[in-house]
Amino acid sequence: MTANLFQTYALNKTLSLKNRILMAPLTRCMADDELIPTQDMADYYGRRGEAGLIISEAVIIRPDGQGYPNTPGLFTPAQIDGWRTVTNAVHQNGGKIFAQLWHTGRVAHPHFYQTTGSQDVMAPSAVGVEGSVPRMRELTYQIPKAVSVEEIAQLVSDYSQAAANAIDAGFDGVEIHGANGYLIDQFLHHDSNRRSDQYGLTPENMSRFALEVVDAIVARIGNDRTALRVSPGAYFNMAGDSRDRDVFDYLIPELEKRDLAFLHIGIFDDAMEFDYLGGRASSYVRSIYSKTLVGVGSFTAETGSKAIADDKFDLLAIGRPFIANPDYVERVRDGKDLVEYSDEMLTSLI
């Protein structure tokens, strides 16, 4: 019933996956205080080597990208060395792993990077989010600073450096985090992008930052090792706007031209429907993107297998069930019961 999940899948000439099950990116807030991955993290990822591809938890590209405690980085030599231990563990177990590259934009908090001397929160426009940092409720979100064109150029350069660092650390590629209301996504939605310069107002301008990051990374590490996650439907740290549709109508065909390793939807439940997308995010993207698409969001192996059989997407990413079951792939293959996920499991790495 889930046999199609266990077919091999060639992403391109460089990378071939042993099955169609991806481990979704899952922030765990378990890096050490220098944002270096630990041995426990290497063991955790190593145990999941049976996945066709692991996408790492989101990894910040530079200090002011941090919005949660102890999220790992990929901008110091010690962080790169720490990740090398992780990628070795995955490769020794026959797996593959991409790094998810992250800047939280207006959801960053200077508490986390106060030692750098910067108090600025970087975003497309000076429009804040309501609320405060999860699990650190005393840290309320600030009104961000609208980044200058020079600062945008530096951000693009920092993304591409982080991608080069990822390859140096032994990752098989990178997934750019363009989803879930973080920096890149903030440029793509009218709620957070109120600019009137070459990065705002029109679909082409609002897509410019995302495409500059993609192009800079492709130039550095190759399109065959570069992927992107996007959330056309706003649902997290973001208010939707019907005009956002035109932005993604422009962006997604532009991405298709780049011939990336894959495009991945960022969402918690793919059953969610968005009026301005005419239904599910995955159906919308599938209708205008013909290359490899990764679906995710409250799927079981059975419902995900059926979605692939029905040509809704090509690869299935599994998040929370992978937190609860390090041997998720083996259990599905052997028809064994799964351990049910619960939020309490977030306090330890099994």
Q: Closest distance between ligand 8K6 and the C-beta of residue 58, in Å?
A: 5
Interaction mask 232-261, ligand FNR, x per CB under 6 A: ------------------------------
Cβ distance to ligand FNR smaller for residue 178 or 240: 178
SS3 of 224, please? helix
DSSP string, 316-342: EEE-HHHHH-TTHHHHHHTTPPPPPP-
Asked if 105 is part of the footprint of ligand FNR (rule: CB under 6 A), the reply reads: no
Interaction mask 267-286, ligand FNR, x per CB under 6 A: xx------------------
Question: Given candidates 229, 245, 280, 286, which one binds ligand FNR under the rule CB under 6 A?
Answer: 229
Question: Given candidates 58, 74, 121, 214, which one binds ligand FNR under the rule CB under 6 A?
Answer: 58
Asked if 235 is part of the footprint of ligand 8K6 (rule: CB under 6 A), the reply reads: yes
Q: Check if 45 is active-site.
A: no
Element of type H or E holding 46: helix 39-46
Q: Which of 45, 182, 199, 328 is catalytic?
A: 182
Cβ distance to ligand 8K6 smaller for residue 65 or 200: 65
Q: Which stretch binds ligand FNR (CB under 6 A): 129-137, 217-225, 242-250, 262-270?
A: 262-270
Asked if 100 is part of the footprint of ligand FNR (rule: CB under 6 A), the reply reads: yes
Asked if 179 is part of the footprint of ligand FNR (rule: CB under 6 A), the reply reads: yes
Q: What is the CA radius of gyration of the chain?
A: 19
What is the rounded distance in angstroms from the CA atom of residue 312 to the CA atom of residue 299?
Answer: 13
Question: Given candidates 11, 24, 147, 285, which one binds ligand FNR under the rule CB under 6 A?
Answer: 24
Residue whose tokens read 């938890």: 57
Per-residue buried b or exposed e for 289-305, using 16+ beta carbons within 10 Å of the residue's own CB:
bebbbbbbbebebeebb
Q: Closest distance between ligand FNR and the C-beta of residue 69, in Å?
A: 13
Contact in structure between 192 and 123 (CB atoms under 8 Å): yes
Cβ distance to ligand 8K6 smaller for residue 57 or 172: 57
* Positions 136 through 195 that interact with ligand 8K6 (CB under 6 A): none
DSSP string, 163-202: HHHHHHTT-SEEEEEE-TTSHHHHHHSTTT----STTSSS
Asked if 193 is part of the footprint of ligand FNR (rule: CB under 6 A), the reply reads: no
Contact in structure between 251 and 207 (CB atoms under 8 Å): yes
Beta-carbon contacts of 285 under 8 Å, excluding residues fewer than 6 positions away, are: 230, 232, 248, 252, 263, 265, 293
Residue whose tokens read 């995900």: 304
Strand partners, 318: 23
Strand partners, 298: none
Asked if 58 is part of the footprint of ligand 8K6 (rule: CB under 6 A), the reply reads: yes
Cβ distance to ligand 8K6 smaller for residue 159 or 235: 235
Q: Closest distance between ligand FNR and the C-beta of residue 201, in Å?
A: 27
Cβ distance to ligand FNR smaller for residue 151 or 269: 269
Asked if 236 is part of the footprint of ligand 8K6 (rule: CB under 6 A), the reply reads: yes
What is the rounded distance in angstroms from the CA atom of residue 94 to the CA atom of residue 91?
Answer: 5
Element of type H or E holding 237: none
Strand partners, 173: 98
- Helix axes 77-92 and 39-46, enclosed angle (nearest 10): 30
Binding at 236: pick from ligand FNR, ligand 8K6, none (beta carbon under 5-8 Å per type) = ligand 8K6
Binding site for ligand 8K6 (CB under 6 A): 27, 58, 68, 235-236, 268
Enumerate the active-site residues. Answer: 182
